[in-house]
Amino acid sequence: MRGFEQIRNDFPAARESTYLDIGTRNPLSNTVRTAIETFLDEWQSPDPAKEQWYADAEETREMMAELVNASADEVAFTLNTSNGLSAVASSIDWSSRDNVIVAPDVEHPNNLYGWLHLSRQGVDVRIAEAKGALVLPGDIERLADTNTRLVAVTSVSNRTGGRMDLKGISRVCKDIGAILAVDAVQSLGAMEFNVDLLDIDMFSAATNKSLLGAYGLGILYCRRDLIDELQPRFLARSSVMQGEDIFSYRIRDSARRFELGNYNFLGIRALRAGLKQIGELEVPNIQAHLLQLSRELTGGLDELGFRVRSSLSEAGMSHLVVFSAPRGVNRTDRDIADHLKRNGVMCKLQSDGIRLSLGVYNNRTDVKETLRLLK
């Protein structure tokens, strides 16, 4: 089993820079690159073993289910985060009596537009306001009623770095019979995410962040007893069980009812390699490692006088840290982000601050170098 420093050596970008931008995309590891190249070699052969590719997909589905403590039949392959969320949104039989709750202050647009668009069907879209970096269960509860059909929330905000109290929000949803739909793209592979403990109904995520995979592949989880309630708007051969002829079919009774056409086999091969790397370290250890770095980074920023926009509480902290220029200093956030990038610190300039996001390959040297440059 490899440790964090050995994993670090597998990421060229982590050796060539201070890479603090996994919230945008993961740098490619040598291990995942080799898996992709092996797949391309197979594809280039005269007779690619497509049966093996399907077997690889099922193995990866099992691995993904194990990561979040789900069953394999609750996991589907999609294109990306928004594709999975849209698949669920379009599968619900909405009425004008329904309302949904969203939280724009902390959300990526991909967990907003699909729900905001429901207003054209007469659905009441209610806006929950964040308290600092977080949307709290009480913020949801004040807006919810017996007509609340769904609550959409991120697990870790790409905008604030706040880690939401999904368990508390889930209790609110369960009390009124609402579906809890989670954008989990910033959590999976970095923070512990157990669908049973969190008691969530569905999540969607892409694989090109802390899952260490590639673009063009997403994961959709749907709780087993919710699947039958969701009737997909679109079907393909992979979505159904075919009968004696093409006219006698039934929609699959698993999350595969949301799958359309051939899989992204290259993306699946990359994800499988990334999941194996995550498995070597184990997610509880990854979370502890990243939160320790986050505490040191947040504390250092605070000492230097920067305005930390992320949550300072242990429960609300994540591996994403967002900050802004100190008050009274003649430097903009853009100035600071440009200074960091010129000196090899990969970060993300946002409309409301600078985001530093930590991955399995980061260490205390990265934190110290970043704080030195900011000082």
Tell me the domains of the chain and their CATH numbers: 4-27+282-374 (3.90.1150.10), 33-279 (3.40.640.10)
Alpha carbon distance 367, 209 (integer Å): 20
- What is the distance, to the nearest Å, from the Cα of residue 32 to the centroid of all Cα atoms in its chain? 19
Angle between helices 364-374 and 333-342 (to 10 degrees): 130
In this predicted structure, what is the pLDDT of residue 244? 74
As a whole number of Å, the end-to-end CA separation of the chain is 37
Mean pLDDT (whole number) for 172-176? 96
pLDDT score of 242: 82
Q: What is the pLDDT of residue 241?
A: 83
Q: Kindly indicate the confidence band of residue 352, based on its pLDDT and cuts at 50, 70 and 90.
A: confident
Q: What is the pLDDT of residues 287-300, one digit of tens each?
A: 999 999 999 999 99
Structure confidence at residue 274 (pLDDT): 98
What kind and span of H or E run contains 357?
A: strand 353-357
Strand partners, 157: none
**Whether residue 19 has pLDDT greater than 80:** yes
Q: What is the pLDDT of residue 55?
A: 95
* pLDDT band, very low/low/confident/very high, at 1 (cuts 50, 70, 90): low
Decide if 282 contacts 272 (C-beta within 8 A): no
Looking at the predicted structure, is the pLDDT value of residue 8 above 90? yes
Mean pLDDT, rounded, for 3-19: 94
What lies within 8 Å, CB to CB, of 207 at 6+ separation is 213, 214, 217, 218, 219, 267, 270, 271, 274
Q: What is the pLDDT of residues 50-65, one digit of tens each?
A: 899 999 999 999 999 9
Contact by Cβ (8 Å): 130, 159: no
The per-residue pLDDT for 328 is 85
pLDDT of 250 strictly over 90: no
Kindly state the tokens that stand for 124: 């009441």
For residue range 157-170, list pLDDT tens digits in order. 999 999 999 999 99
pTM of the predicted model as reported, rounded to 2 decimal places:
0.95
Question: Which pLDDT belongs to residue 206?
Answer: 98
Question: Does 204 score more than 70 pLDDT?
Answer: yes
As a whole number, the mean pLDDT across the chain is 95
Which pLDDT tens digit goes with each residue over 62-96? Answer: 999 999 999 999 999 999 999 999 999 999 999 99
pLDDT surpasses 70 at 344: yes
Tell me the two tokens of residue 46: 């005269």
